[in-house]
Each structure stands twice: as structure tokens, then as C-alpha cells.
Structure 1
Amino acid sequence: MTIRLFIDGAAGTTGLEIRERLQGREEFDLIVLGDAERKDETARRDAIHAADIAILCLPDEAAKEAVKLAEGSDTRIIDASSAHRVADGWTYGFPELIGHDAIANARFVSNPGCYPTGFLALVAPLVRAGRLPENWAYTVNAVSGFSGGGNALIDRFDTEPDIAFRAYGLSLGHKHLAEMQRYAGLKHAPVFSPAVIPAHRGMIVDVPLSLDVIGGEGSQTLRDELTATYANSRVVKVNSEPASELLLRKSAEPWDGMELFVFGSPDDSQARLVAHLDNLGKGASGAAIQNLNIMCGLPETTGLRL
């Protein structure tokens, strides 16, 4: 029996990449609305109610409205927006941290943000295991491809080709902070410094640590803990090989994995925890497909670009 699937917001960047990953997937019967129907509330409501699962690729307020449209149905929902990531009744869609069973049995699943995916993959297991303190004010330095900003930012980089680096979130109130703090189990929100570079996709998330100040474990112990955490994952890998540089390439192809690194100073007084991922892959569309597979009882990596 095929699974009826509706993507609300299928014409956006995340929605288009989800559809690409679903090509040739005979397990799903995709409900598609025409251009005139995509913004029609009645047509969207009918599509949501007809679906077994709906994936929301919408701005936050529109995602909340879509959930209201689902009232009275049994439709399960994956929300790719940030509207429900810390909301009651929603399961956070990070199976490597939250647990596959929790997602498999959930009706409402909220996809993690792209930056929090990298930060949480690094920090949450270490805090949970007592390798890093929960009461430290962590900092996060991160760069992303401009596709993470949606169509408006994509258009800006197309029309202003001289942009080499765009720092933002300078008011220190980024919407990703709540999920970073909650799912890492921290007493303080991290200080977050995001930026965008002139590449379509790709992301580096960097968490610097003064180990001699915060009392954390040595870099090898941190690496070993992360290695054990993701030992059975086909999506998240911990790199044990030394690296002199990490690169984001303008020509990068879609990728749904994530690679983690732990770099330590010679005296082990400092470390950098670094995540490399695709902001449109494990940071968005790939994560939605992974959660969809789990919710449908399918192998979680089916259709993923690994």
C-alpha cells in the first residue's frame, strides 16, 4: 500500500529538494496542487486531510496555519519550519539524539534547524555524558551557503555578486537559540555568530572550547565519546583523521550526511568541535526524508544522498 504524501510549500527551496529525493520512490503517492491551488486554503486543507503524512516547507506563521488546517484529520506532520521545534506535543526530529522510536511513533515531528543540527550533534552527547558542563556559556561560530536564507537571500546573492561574507544575527536573538539550549541541556543559551558565504550550499559549525577553563575532558576523550554516540549511524560520522583545513566548495553536490571533528591544541588546553554538513541536506530536506522514512517504517537512509 502506498503512502499518500503532501508537501505544503513544495515550490520553495526545501520543498523542491525533498521532491528531488522522492523521485522514483514507489512507496509514496504524492499529492500535488497546481499553481492556482497552492495558496488556496480550501485546496490545501483538502490535500492535508487526504494525506497520510504532510511535510510543511513554509514560513513559521504559515506552518502554524497549516497545522490548524489539519485539525479533524489523522494526518501526521513533519514541519521543516522553526515554528514547533520547542512546542509542546511535538517530537524533535533528530533521531540520532532523540531516538528513532520516538520519531517512529510520533504524529507531529519538527525538523531541526540547520545550525542547531551541527551544534547539537557536537555538544548534546558530551553534555549528556558529563564530558562538558551544562552551565557553561558556549559560543558557536558558523557559516552557511546562502540557500539557507530562502528565495530572498538567494536573489540577493544573485543580484549583488560582490558579497563575499555576510554576518547576521547581530542582535543576538536568533530563533535557533531556543532549540540549541533545550536539546543540548544547557542552562544558558549559547552566543551564536552565524554568517553566509557566496556558495549555494554547505555549512561549517564551530564550537571553540577552553578546556582548562571549563573543566571539560581532553580532546581525545571528547572524540571517543562522539565516536561511541554515532557508532551505528549511517548518516553522522566522526572523523578521526587529522585535517589541516576544512573547505566548502561552490560546486558542492547535495549531501545528506554530517561529519564531525574534534581538534585539540598540543597541550590539550583548547579544543574546537566542528560539524560539516549541507544546510539543505541533513540541515533541511535530507533530515525531512530521514524522518519520513522512520515514520513510515522504512530504512532510514532510503533516498538519502550519502
Structure 2
Amino acid sequence: MKPKVFIDGKEGTTGLQIYDYLELRLDIELMLISENKRKDPHERSKFLNEADIVFLCLPDDAAKEAVSMVKNPNTKIIDASTAHRVADGWVYGLPELSINQPEVIASSKRVSNCGCHALGAILLIRPLIEKGIIDSNFPISITSITGYSGGGKNMINNYNNNKTSDMFSPRFYSTGQKHKHLPEITKYSLLSVPPIFCPIVDDYYAGIQTIIPLPGLDPKQVYNVLSKHYFNQRFISVLPFTQDDTILESARIVDSNRVEISVHGQNKRCVVTARFDNLGKGAAGTAIQNMNIMLSLPEDSGLKG
């Protein structure tokens, strides 16, 4: 029998994207709740407990409530919210976190999908700490630029239909250093102190670029560490090192589960970047990747990259 898959919150940005990935797949059975029943607790509970695997594409409190409704011990959950990303009993849903992470995900019934900004930061920082290139209290500063789809349905509607003059230029937000991705960035990058984090939303739909300066580090050494670390990763590529000036478009990668990492600089003035689709690898793509792993399907099934 095909595994049954249910998306709780299919109407949201991530939920719709996951649905688009799954609707034509022949190796799973996609369970669809009636539009007039999608907020009915009894009907939702029925779907949640009949599914082999559930995607929660809900606000944090609603995601916690949905988890409490799952009584079937065999139902596996992938939570796309921030509710459980650093919670006990939950596995962090970033398959490239470590060489063993796919096995950890495969054996888990509770997986919390990573955040988009967090994904880029962790992929850049963690290998450098693991290899001793920087220590855990290195003063990390992160700038991460995303398209407005990262803000969800309301922001998408505002940019598409109600744009005001201030929305035509990049906007720095979460200036108080309380962004919801900071706890997972700190924990899974192996940092002992939270980094400075400057997220920016800009006037384009999709694509994200995470930028981290690394003063005092040799760019070629950083490149060697990252290129070796990600050499065999299906969805991550490290671009060839160059000291030449170049232009890196934040919207370069869309409709893809691919991440492009690049290293730049000279004379111990180093900058590392990660570019990917905030809706793809930064959200729905990684969720599908986690589902494939948890259902013992090929990890790249239904994914572009």
C-alpha cells in the first residue's frame, strides 16, 4: 500500500508549495480534507490519525494543538512551524546537518523542518566550527536577504496588491535581535552565543541569500573546508573559489532544492554566502526531502536540484 500523506494547513504558502510537490506523485496517497471541514477538529483529527505522515503548515500554537490531536503512535509528523525546532523529543529536519542526520531523521516520528534563514546560516557556520576553523564564541554576524514570499500570504498579498512606497526598497526587520530563527541558528550551528542577525525582505518574490563575513580567516582555507564537507551532497554545491569581484543575485535560485555556497575575499578578509529558494530548499523542498527519508523513499524523489 502507498503511504498516506496529509497536509494540515494546505492553504498557506508552505502548504500550497508542498501540495504542488506531491499532487502528481504516484508513490504516495495524498489525503485531501473537504474545504468546509478543514477547520473542523473532529475531521482534522480523523485525517491526522489516519495518515502515515503529516505535514503541519500552521502557526506555532496551532501546530502544537495539532500535535496533541495525534493519538496514533504510528503517525509521523513533519512540523514546518517554529514551534518545535529546539524542543526536546524532536529531530531537526535538515538532512545535511551532519553525515548521520538522514539516519536520525529516518528513525524519528517527530521532525521539525528547518527555517529558511537558519538553513543558510547553519550550512555555512557549522562545518567551520566542527573543523576548528572558528570556535563556538566567534562573533558571527549574518545578513540574509529574502524575497517577500518568505513573509507568507499576507505579505505576498501586500506586495502584489497593496504596495506602498516603502516596499519598493529592501527592508531590514527584526532589528531587536529577537528573530524566531535565532534559537535554531545558535543551537545547530554549534555556537555558544547567539549571532548578530540582520534579515532583509526585498521587492522580489522568491530566492534567498545568506551572507556571513569572517574577518581574520583565510578564504582559501574556508573554501577547502566547505568544498570537502559538502563534496558528496546531492543538493549542495560549493562554487569554485575566486578572488575576482562578481555579482551574486539573491533571486538566482528558484523552484529548486539546490543550495549554492560560495567563498570570496583575500588577505584574511573572507565572506561566505549561501543562495537557495526560500520556498523550495528553505521550506517545502526540505520538508519533502525529510518525508522521503522518513518513508524510506529515494531522498530526491519529486525534487529538482
Q: Which TM-score applies when normalising by structure 2?
A: 0.94
Tell me the secondary structure at the aligned position of residue 133 of structure 1.
coil
Find the aligned partners of 2:94 and 2:226 in 1 and give their Cα distance: 15
The reply to whether residue 292 of structure 1 matches residue 305 of structure 2 is no
Alignment map for 1:122-161 (pairs within 5 Å): 122-158=124-160, 159-160=162-163
Mapped contact 2:258–2:304 kept (Cα < 8 A): yes
How far has the Cα of 1:65 moved from its partner? 0.6
Alpha-carbon separation, structure 1, partners of 2:274 and 2:164: 27
4+ residue runs over 4 A deviation: none
Of 180, 183, 186 in structure 2, the residue corresponding to residue 181 of structure 1 is 186
Q: Which residue of 1 aligns with 2:257?
A: 256
User: Separation in 2 of the partners of 1:129 and 1:184?
Assistant: 12
Cα deviations by residue, 1:6-41 (Å, 9 ceiling, x for unpaired): 000011111111111113211111111111111111
Counterpart residue number, 2:276: 277
Which letter maps to 1:80?
Answer: A
1:82-109, Cα deviation, whole Å (9 max, x unpaired): 1100000000011111411001111100
Equivalenced residue count is 298
Structure 1 residues 16-31: aligned runs within 5 Å: 16-31=16-31
CA offset digits 1:171-200 (Å, max 9, x no partner)? 111111100000111111000000101111
Q: Which residue is equivalent to 2:111?
A: 109
What CA distance in whole angstroms lies between the structure 1 residues aligned with 2:59 and 2:235? 27
Q: How does 1:75-94 map to 2 (within 5 A)?
A: 75-94=75-94
> What secondary structure does 2:35 align onto?
coil
Aligned to 1:59: 59
Q: 8 Å contact 2:22–2:30 — kept in the other structure?
A: no
Percent identity (aligned): 39
Compared CA separation, residues 249 and 135, structure 1 to 2 (3 A): closer
Unaligned runs of 5+ in 1: none
Counterpart secondary structure, 2:233:
coil
Q: 1:210 is matched by which residue type in structure 2?
A: P
Moved more, 169-178 or 154-163: 154-163
Distance 2:92 2:73 in 1: 21
How far, CA to CA, are the matches of 1:226 and 1:179 in structure 2?
21
Per the TM alignment, residue 227 of structure 1 is displaced from its structure 2 partner at its CA by: 1.1
Q: Which moved more, 1:279-288 or 1:239-248?
A: 239-248
Once the two structures are TM-superposed, the CA of residue 74 in structure 1 deviates from its matched residue by 2.0
